[in-house]
Structure 1
Amino acid sequence: MITSPDAGPSIGRAARVRTLLCWAAVTPGLAWAALRLPGLERGPLVQAVAFTPYVAAWTPVPLLLALALRRRWPAVVAALAAAALVGVVAPRALPGGQPAAHGPELRLLTANLLAGAADARTLVDLVRAHRVDVLTVQEFTPDTATELDRLGLATLLPHRQLNPQVGTVGSGLYARFPITGGGIRQNRGGWGFSQAYGTVTPPGAPPVRIESAHPAAPYAVDQVEFWRTDLEAQPAATPQAGLSILAGDFNATLDHAPLRALLATGYVDAADAAGDGLTGTWGPYDGDPIPPVTIDHVLVDRRVAVRSVAVRPVPGSDHRAVLAELRLPAV
């Protein structure tokens, strides 16, 4: 067989091009894993990290490319990056083990009302249809408070700790059971979102402290430190003492290091425990072209069992409400 004198160099150039192509495809996933795993997000990268599930879903593509082009080392690196990102994301779609809780059920609904623009009737209908015991609301306004009561919430959930405010800073906690030790906590960052809290004691269960969480949003680089400070200031779980639940708009996903640190104090993300941790709660619901991300959470004490979690649309809001059915420990 006769070959051209230029065949050898041409083959070598083609091989180098294939190698460079593979490394170009592999590097973004590798860099993302190096950022996400140790929690190094800073500045504008805080917003980017919220989309980690989408990057994890993409990481097998560079691996398949490297295998198809028979590039060994790019394939090895691509496999490691894919395993790392898929490994931290995929478990959210799988139900986890539950503690042996034998007390009463507690149905909790949380919703960001977009400065009062959310449809109040939908919210009351959700409370009524699902026999909700506790409702936490964020971006809660005086007009919304009046409208909710007009639509029957005062009868369904007569006990409340409320801080309605014009704009986005208001917060509310409604309950079927009496609320003790209630109050309002003011975040220091960003817009200064408030957080209503109180303790409820369902019959047959120990007291449960519940807070409507709403840390600052990292919507701009100069807000990131406020966001981090507010998340770090959230009440830690108390595994050796009373039960605690935080429910609301955390402006953070399970890929953000400050939220993972809060969970490590003794909380469980209810949606993650139920296998619904990848269901989006914020993004395109008011028309913005943003892929859905999961920033609304119900964090429960590890002694609380999670029966189910569902995400429900609320017209007028850019968030979806999160409904968690829980089982508390017995007294």
Structure 2
Amino acid sequence: MRPETTYPAHAVERPAEPMRRTRGGVAVGLLLWLFVVPYFAVSLLRLLGLDGGHGISVAAVALTPYALPLGAVLTAILLFTRRWIVGLVSLLLTVLLVTVVAPRTMAAARPNGTGQVLRVLSVNISMDRGDAAAVVRLVRERAVDLLSIQELTPGAERALDAAGLAEVLPHRVFKAQPGAVGGGLASRFPLREKVITKPTTAEHPAALVDLPNEPDVEIVSVHPWYPVGPRGTEPWLRDLAGLPVPDARRTPRILAGDFNASLDHSSFRGLLNQGYLDAAEQVGAGLTPTWPTNVRYVPALVALDHVLVDDKNFLVESFSTAAVPGTDHHAVLAEVRLARG
């Protein structure tokens, strides 16, 4: 018999497989973190609705539509370089942002309306800098029925009159003031001034529009105080909170103006949740920017100007913007139809 061969009782150690390390090393990692931190911050501020505490957070959240494509590219790079945990968190945030931003590019389904169409134009005339003749030309060319003006000064009022505004929109409620706090409404139909809003930093003129053979409509010229100045966000939040919510009678109501807020700000979304429709969002133009328009070589970036309508009484037919020389905002024009005739 052959002698038995014995083997050691312990297992033979095999050489360890090299760990799959991240690609790019420390330098690439540090560079990626320079983008990861602000992207995560903007995403969380937007998704959690924590944007009203400071002007920086308000400004950052306004850029959410631009953060989204950055996040998509950043997520791809993180996963490609095998930074799995951070990459998966970035992927989750990007998907969540897609769900809140993408619907703005799709027109909402709506029933057919039978009521009168109203063409509503809103213009921040930038005090005495805006071209009043261009505003009146827009009113004529677009057959505007209702005009909302922000930052209306006595000089701007005189310029609008000299350009012939009263010939096309003979009825008005003007609260012209020096500086950026004035506002006004002009109409093709008779107006009766009303007090609808709570006290605000700037003028918020409001009126009842006497339409022939239709229910009367309330309209407010809106201009909350800007949130990134020395006063902080408190006046901005207070002014937005002071805007009227649809009442129990659901009076047809239009809010038109420079809201100094975008669809990504929680205070503005809260207003929509009370029962308003944003005209731009309704027709799939919710990403159309309106400000700033006076910076050389820089296009408009953020949608701050809006036309909102009561969701029980109006349907949105169209939305567009127009340039007004001298101002830092695009004018916005919405065609809205009364749902009942």
TM-score (norm 2): 0.86
Q: Which residue of 1 aligns with 2:258?
A: 249
What does residue 326 of structure 2 align with? 316
The offset of 1:99, in angstroms, is 4.4
Q: Mind listing any 5+ residue stretches in structure 2 that lack a counterpart? A: 1-14
Stretch of structure 1 that moved more, 43-52 or 281-290? 281-290
Tell me, in whole angstroms, the C-alpha distance in 2 between the residues paired with 1:174 and 1:125.
14
Name the residue aligned to 1:119: 131
Alpha-carbon contact 1:279-1:294 (below 8 Å) kept: yes
Query: What corresponds to 2:180 in structure 1?
Result: 168
| Structure 2 counterpart of 1:45 | 57
Q: Residues of 1 paired with 2:300 and 2:185: CA distance? A: 29
Aligned residue in 2 for 1:177: 189
Cα distance change, pair 19–110 in 1 and its aligned pair in 2 (3 A)? same
Q: CA deviation at 1:258?
A: 0.8
Distance 1:184 1:159, change over 3 A: farther
Secondary structure at 2:73's aligned position in 1? helix
Counterpart in the other structure of 1:224:
233
Distance 1:151 1:25 in 2: 50
Match in the other structure for 2:76: 64
Name the SS of the counterpart of 1:220 in structure 2. coil
Q: Is the 8 A contact 1:252 1:294 kept in 2?
A: yes
Cα distance change of structure 1 residues 14 and 214 upon mapping to structure 2, 3 Å threshold = closer
Partner SS, residue 209 of structure 1: strand
Counterpart secondary structure, 1:206: coil
- Pairs within 5 Å for 1:223-302: 223-238=232-247, 240-287=249-296, 292-302=301-311
- Find the aligned partners of 1:220 and 1:15 in 2 and give their Cα distance: 42
**Counterpart for residue 35 of structure 1:** 45
CA distance in 2, matches of 1:243, 1:165: 28
Give 3-state SS (helix, strand or coil) of 2:212's partner.
coil
**1:286·1:317 contact (CA, 8 Å) conserved in 2?**
no
Deviation string 1:40-73 (CA, Å, 9 cap, x unpaired) is 1121211221111111121101121123224433
SS of 2:96's equivalent? helix
Deviation at 1:195, TM superposition (A): 1.0
In structure 1, what residue type is equivalent to 2:330?
R
Q: What is the match of residue 141 of structure 2?
A: 129
What's the CA shift for 1:219? 2.1
Q: Is the 8 A contact 2:293 2:330 kept in 1?
A: no
Q: Secondary structure at the match of 1:73?
A: helix
2:22·2:82 contact (CA, 8 Å) conserved in 1? no
Deviation (angstroms), 1:133: 0.2
Task: Note closer, same or farther for the CA distance 1:184–1:269 as it changes in structure 2 (3 Å cut).
Answer: closer
How far apart are 1:235 and its partner, in Å? 1.0
Q: Which string of whole-angstrom CA distances, capped at 9 and with x for unpartnered residues, describes residues 4-59 of structure 1?
A: x9x959x7475764777666644433332221112111212112211111111211
Give the aligned residue type for 1:65: I
Aligned length: 322
Contact 2:23 2:82 in 1 (8 A): no
Superimposed CA distance per residue, residues 126-164 of structure 1 (whole angstroms, 9 cap, x where no aligned partner) = 000010000000001112222222222111111111111
Render the CA deviation track for 1:287-311: whole Å, top value 9, x for unaligned.
Answer: 4957521111101111311111101
Mapped partners of 2:160, 2:34: distance in 1: 54
Quickly say closer, same or farther: Cα 1:240–1:145, change in 2 above 3 A: same
Q: Residue type of the partner of 2:323?
A: P
For 2:220, the equivalent position in structure 1 comes to: 211
Amino acid at match of 1:258: S
2:333 partner amino acid: L
Cα distance, 1:222 vs. partner?
A: 3.4
Max radius of gyration: which structure? 2
Q: Describe the superposition over 1:269-324 as per-residue Cα deviations: whole angstroms up to 9, x where unpaired.
A: 10111111111111142549575211111011113111111010000000110000
- The more displaced of 131-140 and 44-53 is 44-53
Q: CA deviation at 1:169?
A: 1.1
Q: Which among 296, 312, 325 is matched to residue 335 of structure 2?
A: 325
| Percent sequence identity over aligned pairs | 41
Partner residue in 1 for 2:10: none
Q: Are the counterparts in 1 of residues 121 and 148 from structure 2 also a CA contact under 8 Å? A: yes
TM-score for the superposition, normalised by structure 1 = 0.89
